[in-house]
A and B are shown apart, each in its own frame.
Chain A
């Protein structure tokens, strides 16, 4: 029996009724924590980083708060807060910002520049990223990509990796044709990690393990919008050692979220 202990880095909780345009039709949602847990259990996913659809599409602060309350009692569900530029303009920034992350045991955050309409340039969220850099907070970059042709600004990713070397950056859901941009950045910046959920280059997982090490890949699915079965079998059938598969399945993300250190701020 395959006993990979999967830790899904990219799961959404909450409805997305009116936002089918964002995902070009993908409408599935986990309306309750129970639905989410049922799905995770079904596919042998033991742990998940969860973000809120409300935080991403409706109201960041309220959505993050709702998420934290919804999964507080769930030891295997880790909150991934959405962060946005206006957080820096809160009168009590940075204290409120830091307290919100720390009190809710947030060990990863996500930026959504496409759906939230901003450029991920260095002048945006500079103060926020400085804090995240001090505490080594993993940052997921979500451009609402559905298909490999969807644009992904790699220059911005490169600049962020260079400027904030203590932040593990994980671009979400980029396709096979991004290899010629991603690989050079991974070579130069060891704080760029690869989400395998949609990176379907032929035998990509082995290629990345060979070039950069299995330590640089993170398992994710994009549930509930996207089908988890593809990345699951993509990892299971990859020609890595069991040890390497275990790293991709859960070891790497556990290492990254385990390094978050709030004592630095």
Chain B
């Protein structure tokens, strides 16, 4: 059984005991609620050098949030497995963790099979999230069991409350949570709706590992910032810091300058995952957020691949 310790409480208690003080300032850079200008960190590094192969080869890059296939909401060029592998080769990405757009679209079961086909066609280049559709709740256990039994490339569960227009932790998802808990699986969701939701599920199903999609990158750098959907990002970052089985992934088209390093400061590199959402978005853009970041190479290694490898049991 995974340890679901609330790390912040543990650290507070241990520190207090060591220092003999009764209250601890958590050291959170945003302990106050006022607007704080993100700090521009100076560096003497030539950033363009970080795009050289010699530097990039330091990292095992596994894209924790990607897709295969097409949808019609907008044209998605180069979206099938062969082209995605081409892009991986250009970027030095070892593998993409994918859900199939057909599974998120018109046919979840066929889509899950298509993802498996792609993974088996390009061994080691794709790891699959099996999609669970809440509108077919009675079939979730059967479908997930089928997908996981069918292929060892299936490693996680994908939920999409947004596409499926269903509450993020509504009761129809319970079979998916139970399945994942029983098998100690990772669940990636777009999205969990709130940090409270994640904490509720993470606590109730302590063997699961939960990833909040698109969380880490649209934050504007202030504690009370809410995005256009009325969601506050900061609580997710704090939850990722506090709970070992809560994670955030980075993929998002919007990135505010000077903020990503604070994301790492608050959530901690151990609980952040690089993802590009490719082919919905160009992975060449998304990789820059981490590759050129003012964080240590050790932190980059975790975010780029070691964390997701650990979550999905991928051998690196």
Interface residues of A (CB under 8 A from B): 1-4, 20, 23-29, 35, 38-39, 42-44, 146-149, 175-177, 179-180, 198, 200-205, 207, 223-239
Select from chain B the residue with minimum beta-carbon distance to A235: B284
Answer whether A148 and B282 are a contact pair too, CB < 8 Å, given A179-B74, A236-B51, A237-B51. Answer: no
Residues A26 and B256 in contact, CB atoms below 8 Å apart: yes
Looking at the assembled complex, report how far the CB atom of A224 sits from the nearest CB atom of chain B, in whole angstroms.
Answer: 5
Residues A230 and B47 in contact, CB atoms below 8 Å apart: no
Residues B48 and A26 in contact, CB atoms below 8 Å apart: no
Give B276-305 interface residues, CB cut-off 8 Å to A: 278-289, 291-293
Looking at the assembled complex, report how far the CB atom of B50 sits from the nearest CB atom of chain A, in whole angstroms.
Answer: 9
Additional A-B contacts beyond A149-B228, A202-B282 (13; CB < 8 A): A24-B228, A39-B40, A42-B47, A176-B281, A200-B253, A200-B286, A202-B79, A202-B278, A203-B87, A203-B284, A224-B257, A229-B255, A236-B48
B22 close to A (CB within 8 Å) = no
Residues B281 and A44 in contact, CB atoms below 8 Å apart: no
Query: How far apart sit A71 and B43, CA to CA, in the bound complex (Å)?
Result: 24
Task: From the candidates B91, B255, B259, B280, name the one contacting A202 in the complex (CB within 8 A).
Answer: B280
Q: Which residues of B are found within 8 Å of A43, using beta-carbon distances?
A: 47-48, 292
Q: Mark B131-148, 1 if CB is under 8 A from A, else 0.
A: 000000000000000000
Give B172-227 interface residues, CB cut-off 8 Å to A: 220-222, 225, 227
Select from chain A the residue with minimum beta-carbon distance to B44: A42
Residues B285 and A231 in contact, CB atoms below 8 Å apart: yes
Answer whether A2 and B220 are a contact pair too, CB < 8 Å, given A24-B227, A179-B74, A230-B286. Answer: no
Query: How far apart sit A38 and B225, CA to CA, in the bound complex (Å)?
Result: 27
Select from chain B the residue with minimum beta-carbon distance to A231: B285
Residues A226 and B256 in contact, CB atoms below 8 Å apart: yes
Interface size of B by Cβ–Cβ distance < 8 Å?
52
Residues A203 and B282 in contact, CB atoms below 8 Å apart: yes
Task: From the candidates B37, B46, B221, name the one contacting A29 in the complex (CB within 8 A).
Answer: B37
Q: Which residues of B are found within 8 Å of A23, using beta-carbon distances?
A: 220, 256
Answer whether A42 and B288 are a contact pair too, CB < 8 Å, given A27-B222, A28-B257, A202-B77. Answer: no
Give B30-87 interface residues, CB cut-off 8 Å to A: 35, 37-38, 40, 42-43, 46-49, 51-52, 73-79, 83, 87
Answer whether A198 and B253 are a contact pair too, CB < 8 Å, given A27-B38, A42-B43, A237-B90. Answer: yes
Looking at the assembled complex, report how far the CB atom of A97 sits from the nearest CB atom of chain B, in whole angstroms.
Answer: 33
Query: How far apart sit A158 and B283, CA to CA, in the bound complex (Å)?
Result: 30
Select from chain A the residue with minimum beta-carbon distance to B294: A42
Q: Which residues of B are found within 8 Å of A148, using beta-carbon distances?
A: 253
Residues B285 and A233 in contact, CB atoms below 8 Å apart: yes
Query: How far apart sit A177 and B73, CA to CA, in the bound complex (Å)?
Result: 8
Q: Which residues of A are found within 8 Å of B47, using beta-carbon distances?
A: 42-44, 229, 232
Select from chain A the residue with minimum beta-carbon distance to B41: A42
Residues A2 and B52 in contact, CB atoms below 8 Å apart: yes
Select from chain A the residue with minimum beta-carbon distance to B79: A202
Residues B48 and A234 in contact, CB atoms below 8 Å apart: no
Residues A44 and B282 in contact, CB atoms below 8 Å apart: no
Identify the interface centre among A28, A42, A198, A200: most chain B CB within 10 Å of its CB: A200
Query: How far apart sit A176 and B281, CA to CA, in the bound complex (Å)?
Result: 8
Q: Which residues of B are found within 8 Å of A180, using beta-carbon distances?
A: 74-75
Select from chain A the residue with minimum beta-carbon distance to B278: A202
Looking at the assembled complex, report how far the CB atom of B1 sits from the nearest CB atom of chain A, in whole angstroms.
Answer: 39
Residues B291 and A233 in contact, CB atoms below 8 Å apart: yes
Q: Which residues of A are found within 8 Å of B40, using beta-carbon distances?
A: 28, 35, 38-39, 224
Query: How far apart sit A224 and B220, CA to CA, in the bound complex (Å)?
Result: 12
Residues B78 and A229 in contact, CB atoms below 8 Å apart: no
Answer whether A238 and B284 are a contact pair too, CB < 8 Å, given A25-B225, A29-B37, A35-B40. Answer: yes
Query: How far apart sit A69 and B49, CA to CA, in the bound complex (Å)?
Result: 34
B260 close to A (CB within 8 Å) = yes
Q: Which residues of B are found within 8 Å of A20, using beta-carbon distances?
A: 35, 220
